[in-house]
Structure 1
Amino acid sequence: RGERWRQRMAVRRRQRRGPGSGRALLGAVLLCLWWRAAAERVRYAIAEELGRGSLVGPLARDLGLSADELPARKLRLSEEKQYFTVSEENGNLYVNERLDREEMCGESASCSVSFEALVHNPLNVFHVEVSIEDVNDNSPAFRKPILDLEIGEWTLPGARFPLETAQDADVGSNSLLAYQLTKNPSFSLALKESTDGSKQPELVLERALDREKQSSFELVLTALDGGDPVRSGTVQIRVSVTDANDNPPMFSKSVYEARVAENLPAGSVVLRVRATDADAGTNGRVSYSFGNVPDGVLALFVVDSDSGEIRTAGPLDFEEKSKYIFGLEARDGGGLNAHCKVQIDVTDENDNAPEITILSLSSPVPEDAPTGTVVALLKVRDRDSGENGQVSCELSGETPLSIVASSGGSYKVVTASALDREQAAEQRVTVVARDRGRPALWSSTELVLEVSDVNDNAPVFSEAAYSAYVAENNAAGALVVRVQARDADAGANGRVSYWLAGGSAGAAALVSVEARSGALYAQRSLDYEQCREFAVAVRAQDGGAPARSSTATVRVFVLDRNDNAPRVLWPAAAPGEAPGAAPAPFEVVPRSAEAGYLVAKVVAVDADAGRNAWLSYELVQASEPALFRVGLHSGEVRTARAVSERDAAKQRVVAVVKDHGQPALSATATLHVVLAESLQEALPELSERAAGAEAPAAELQFYLVLALALLSALLVLSVALAVLARLRRA
């Protein structure tokens, strides 16, 4: 063990020579101890007072990360005060600022800095602890530069006089180790070990004093520590030889103890010490004062020099220091003194609420993230102790998240159920940390987590089926109907385009759909008489990958327009007659016919539909207008009165057929009526009609024969002229 101690001291001496030599001997200086426990903890040990940039240890390598993984894993530290930094290039841990062990940990025997190392992709946390080892950078120091003692000349040899103790801020072997006194035949130095292990220097009188020979002495007390090199501090002792004060004060206890709660108001009595002196008068009057105590004690406590009451001078904080040990001195009027120890234990009160630190927040998180995905990493700390420092965390409100305790006061916020961006694009959750004190203290912080979209919704049409009505004879490119589908997703996942996806036979040639707007346009003019209705399927597709789609049916009804005139089926039109005119058949009506006799029925049809195809009949011309009438809707031609002998044998009746369109279209029908009792009686009339009809035909035949004769004569003449011409050449 002694050999290892000398080696460590040699390494520390070489460290102080400068950063150049320290870098060369870095492996010997840094005592890096690491291991992986159940909580994934990495430990290192370094000496205090190392310069900025000094290597602590290969953190990335110790965490199992290679240099190639560092950019993607994003290694970083979470410590609140940046004592250390990690290199993004090699993952090594370096000192970021000067570390003073005495400033950081005070009188504590051990000193370390703990923090978390965060690694992403996947997210993980490692606990890192760096132990700060003491170097001998503080010399022993006395509170006063000069110590005055008064010793009576009657004091017998062997008497002991307690001296002021020195304080050394270092710990371990670097702390106070020994005292030395300048040589003097009248005095020597003795060390008295207290119950707490500290050594109290005492001045021992070796021989009787004679004030008449020498009334004062000047000595030097040197305090030495155990560092390498050794550091020291001195105090000058001035001894005055006096008369007659032969009883020093005596404390009732060597150690006074008290327990007080933190946050005690200033001026509160902590305890009272008491010392008595058997002398009388001035030599027996005792006053109290602090011994050589740190400045921190003087800032928190005061002692009444007359009563010995110790009161608080400032606020006590258990979290900063839970125990104070210091010395008190009782001095009589003759200069004799005595010392005692005071130990004050500060008890904890629940005066610190838990502190929540967000170490990492993964936002946004995709809505299809599986249950149990870590979205946030928290650190919760309560500076109190015991139950006052035991913390529980929970999430307030209804949320698809839950919080899971991890090691070392860390908590993970994970998904507890599926996320749905369409229902909530943002998750706001409050983390509440509560301790177990009475009354309990709590704190909270809000986490805002954005949910990113995935293509999990197909477009939805506003209607499952659409109906459109288009009048026939429309212009090509006319708007038929506009369909609309909405997609609850965002961005490209919610951008909808439209396509035709089948339908009735030939329907794809009749309409087209605009991809962006969903508008259906007619490709050509529609004809009600050819196609009265048809259906097409329209598919709405989003821009996701893979894309999602849905289909709606559009049924198009073609509306009729009055674009067809009525067509007369009977009487049928005769060849050569004008369009719309009916033929002239003969109907025989007996002269004995009474009113209402059915003469004939005009039959007509209209290719249109609805009102455009409703037909009505009207008599517009007749040889005897009063003799006939026609049914308005039936088209039946009947006698309006009884036939008389005065009525002409041949009658001509003209009827018009109209539809109910806007405007109305019409056609006419002509009917010839012969008034006769029988067919034989009507034949002469029919023959005259036939002869009259044959005359134009005979005249036409004559002209045809004449034209043929002329053509034959021209042919014979041409042949004769050709023969004559040949004979002439011969």
Structure 2
Amino acid sequence: MGVRLGTMLMDIWTRLMLAWISVLPLVQSITLDPPQSLQEESILTLNGLDGDPGALSRAKRGWVWNQMFVLEEFSGPEPILVGRLHTDLDLANRNVKYILSGEGAGTIFMINDKTGDIHAMKRLDREEKAEYTLTAQAIDRDTDKPLEPPSEFIIKVQDINDNAPEFPDEPYHVTVPEMSSVGTSVMGVTATDADDPVYGNSAKLVYSILEGQPYFSIEPHTGIIRTALPNMDREAREEYLVVIQAKDMGGHMGGLSGTTTVTVTLTDVNDNPPKFTQSLYHLSVLEDMAVGDVTGRVKANDRDLGQNARSLYEIIDGDGMDVFEITTDSQTQEGVITLKKPLDFETKRSYTLKVEAGNAHIDPRFISKGPFKDTAAVKITVEDADEPPVFSSPAYFLEVRESVNVGSVIGQIMARDPDIIVSPVSQVSRVPVAIKVLDVNDNAPELASQTEAYLCENGKSGQVIQTVSATDKDDPKAGQYFFYNLAPEISRNPNFTIKNNADNSVSILARHSGFSRQKQDIYFLPIIISDSGNPPMSSTNTLTIRVCGCSTDGTVQSCNVEAFVLPIGLSMGALIAILACIILLLVIVVLFVTLRRHKNEPLIIKDDEDVRENIIRYDDEGGGEEDTEAFDIATLQNPDGFNGFLPRKDIKPDLQYVPRQSLPPVPNGVDVDEFINVRLHDADIDPTAPPYDSIQIYGYEGRGSTAGSLSSLETTSTDSEQNFDYLKEWGPRFKKLGDMYAVGENDRET
């Protein structure tokens, strides 16, 4: 019915506005004039043109508005008349033309260029555009010359109540503590209205509660929601739905409205004490329960939530306060009773506890309601269990000497069965027994590690050679103490003596200086070491002392006997390295000189070469070539040469040949010429002969030659130059021999 009544009122309002519009042109007729400043009055002062249109002169003034109004949402059958433009120059004898330009000119707003009437051609919405700025001008229709300067004016769209209030932030969820006092602020809601807030009451809103009374109220103009009832209890009701209405037109009849829902949740406060579900709890446990095991649980319920429902449990009385303890399970809020001391059915068979539960967090506002605690009794019955035997001690420590005889009694262990009734079930108990083996002095001391010492040849008399210590496998309680002595047979040793250092070690000292490796390089010093046991044990240990060469600061360099001939400051390894380098250098020099001479000298001396400066020396002059008569050439031959094929050691032939047959031995007294011819023939038919490099060695000189002795010492020539005619006879032969056998560069010397 409210909507129908609002529609009727809207229709009446529209009719009134249409009636106002019909007379609006009479009120809104304006005379065009240039725009005035906004600081001036909101009317236009017009300047008209007198007489000749071309002449500018001052005209009378008129007071007009510079604004026109048009009602929004108007949808009549004809375009609505907005207003009329007029100029004082529009006389009967003037042909005036009105021109309209600006926002919406020609589309939304049309002007009658003769009468100046302005009509709205479309339905307007103030919420889309509230005003339009246009420019009007009057010109002479005949000459198109302006009669007035352009004048700017505004058409405002007049608002109607066509928008209902809205809640842009909905839905709303809010919390408020339970038991809040009346008038406690819950929240504030705000609605918006798209209508014009400065024109009429279309956007004037009033708030009210449609649902949620009598628990909540709302302030009509601010939208603040407050509690309306005291002591709202969360435990009774936790959530409320409140429906809020916002109505425009100041809340009067015919206004538009909008609604929203606010969900109000009461939050918990600690207004309830914990309560045990029972006043007496019965628990039973076996006597063999281990310390720390759970005996049972009790529970005190609290209607509050979270921290407000957390309870603390305590045993405040009873004969089991020292045997049991109680803690709080943070997950279930139960009181967990655990065993603190062992139980014994034979000693005590039941216990009584008084348990208290109280809140951890108490709201001081509700202390007056009474103590936030509750108590309950707990009776615990101990039941008999088949217990294993119990040893008289939780652990046993025994001692035995390492020399004890087999079968000897070390100690005694005792146990008892605590049960009153013997059970056929077998029970086993275990106890740790530690047996310590006591030490007996049955090991002789011996040198710890120093079994060899070094003595410098340049050492002085009384100088400490080595400090030695001893070790003993025995472990006396009082610790070890050793005695050192030289063997009786060398107690008056002329070379060495010992000195006790009072720290279970002795120093070996030299009695004199001038030790020599060449004379004696090793000395053996037997030392008797005795311990302080009962009875004492002793052993003889031999210390080896080596005589070594040392530097001036006493650093040992070499202990070898041969090292005394070496230069001071050089070790054997360094000397060997130096000698190896020298030998290698000499070999390189010899090879270099030999190769160089081979490259410069031909194998065969030619006749035209001057060989007079060649000097041939012999260590033994001998009998010349006649000496060859004294032995057979066969003795100069390689004995293995006739016993088969000798494989070459310089290179390996590409092909393997059958070993050649043994050459017959050269008969005694053969001539060199014949001997060479035989070897040339053998080489020609030998498949293993050169072209690869080879060397042939001959140790036979020959019987003699027509040239006589080659020795320069026996020449009878009175000439200073020697006779070299023998080269004419042997030269071609040596040349042929060289061509056949001296193929390699290194073979020409031979």
Bin for the TM-score computed over the shorter chain: 0.3 to 0.5
Structure number with higher strand proportion: 1
TM-score (norm 2): 0.38
TM-score (norm 1): 0.39
**Largest Rg, 1 or 2:** 2
